[in-house]
Amino acid sequence: MAIFKGAGVAIITPMKEDLSVNYEKLEQIIDYQIENGTDSIIICGTTGESSTLTHEEHLECIRVAINRVNGRVPVIAGTGSNCTETAVYLSKEAEKYGADALLLVTPYYNKATQGGLVKHFGTVAKQVDLPLILYNVPSRTGCNILPETVARMAKEYENITAIKEASGNIAQVAKVAQLTEGTVDIYSGNDDQIVPVLSLGGLGVISVLSNVAPRQTHEIVASFLGGDTKKSLEMQLAALPLIDALFCEVNPIPVKAAMNMLGFETGPLRNPLTEMEPAHKEILKAAMIQYGLPVKA
């Protein structure tokens, strides 16, 4: 059974001006997401600035999200690390808190061979009972999970059940679909490739766009899965200028700026991420207005 179908939000982590985590604001944003059709909450992923959260903050964000969601939609906890022991620790704790699934990014910086990836993910898989979503984003990690490796892990570990594919390589996504023969659920990790991934049998998207346009992102997927592929495609294409603007600087710089423009007061970013360049901010603002979002600032 799929962890979710539709649009899951790779949710931001709001900060106070002193750069402490704003848990109250996080709860408000979670409610807003669910009220506007988001199908799953993905907490402490890349978009959530997980790399600059302490372990205590990371786990508290997961706990707060699970408690606030209270079973309304699945909660997927980002528990990946470039250290296998750390990934195991975070994963076991998230399971104790009641997460529905785990999102595990490939080891970054130190990277790994394909055999190393099997050992890394397999070690986590053996330590927890939750479904695992592999997160393949080689542009950020320098490490690509080959389709053959995905298929191997799915056969060896029954709880490796899904992949967030953000390689940007549609041919690779197709190869994953072919080799896994429906045993691995595929989610787009790129907002500009939702429809292409769905056309290859994908079940949805783990989305940055959903932070600012949850209803529309949900509709892109729901329309496709409901058989209205024409509407889905039209909505995908209409969102492209905004998606481009949301990635004109490294994620999550633009999406956090966008949330602040919408009046959510999500605060600043932690270094080494910096505030958005003024020229890029104007491009983002114009794209948001063109898309029909209620920009307040």
Which pLDDT tens digit goes with each residue over 285-294?
999 999 999 9
Q: What is the pLDDT of residue 228?
A: 98
* CA separation for the pair 254, 252 (Å, rounded): 6
Say whether pLDDT at 59 is over 80: yes
Catalytic-labelled residue, pool 96, 108, 126, 164: 164
Report residue 105 CA to chain centroid gap. Answer: 10
Q: What is the pLDDT of residue 60?
A: 98
Catalytic-labelled residue, pool 135, 187, 256, 291: 135
The model's confidence at residue 217, banded by pLDDT at 50, 70 and 90, is: very high
Which pLDDT tens digit goes with each residue over 62-121?
999 999 999 999 999 999 999 999 999 999 999 999 999 999 999 999 989 999 999 999
For residues 203-217, give the mean pLDDT.
Answer: 98
Instruction: Provide CB contacts within 8 A for 226, sequence distance 6+.
Output: none
Which element (helix H / strand E) includes 273?
none
Which pLDDT tens digit goes with each residue over 152-184?
999 999 999 999 999 999 999 999 999 999 999
* CATH number of the structural domain 6-226: 3.20.20.70
Q: What is the pLDDT of residue 268?
A: 96
Which pLDDT tens digit goes with each residue over 218-272?
999 999 999 999 999 999 999 999 999 999 999 999 999 999 999 999 999 999 9
Q: What is the pLDDT of residue 169?
A: 97
Q: What is the pLDDT of residue 1?
A: 80
- Give φ, ψ of 253 to 5 degrees: -55, -55
* CA separation for the pair 163, 239 (Å, rounded): 24
Say whether 109 is catalytic.
Answer: no
Angle between helix axes 253-261 and 278-291 (nearest 10 degrees) is: 60
Tokens of 287: 């794209």
Question: pLDDT higher for 1 or 283?
Answer: 283
Say whether pLDDT at 297 is over 80: no
Say whether pLDDT at 46 is over 90: yes
Question: What is the β-pairing status of strands 185-188 and 160-165?
Answer: parallel
Say whether 230 is catalytic.
Answer: no
Segments making up each domain of the chain, as ranges: 6-226
Say whether pLDDT at 16 is over 80: yes
Q: How many CB atoms lie within 10 A of CB 55?
A: 12
Burial of 135 (0-12, 13-18, 19+ CB in 10 A): buried
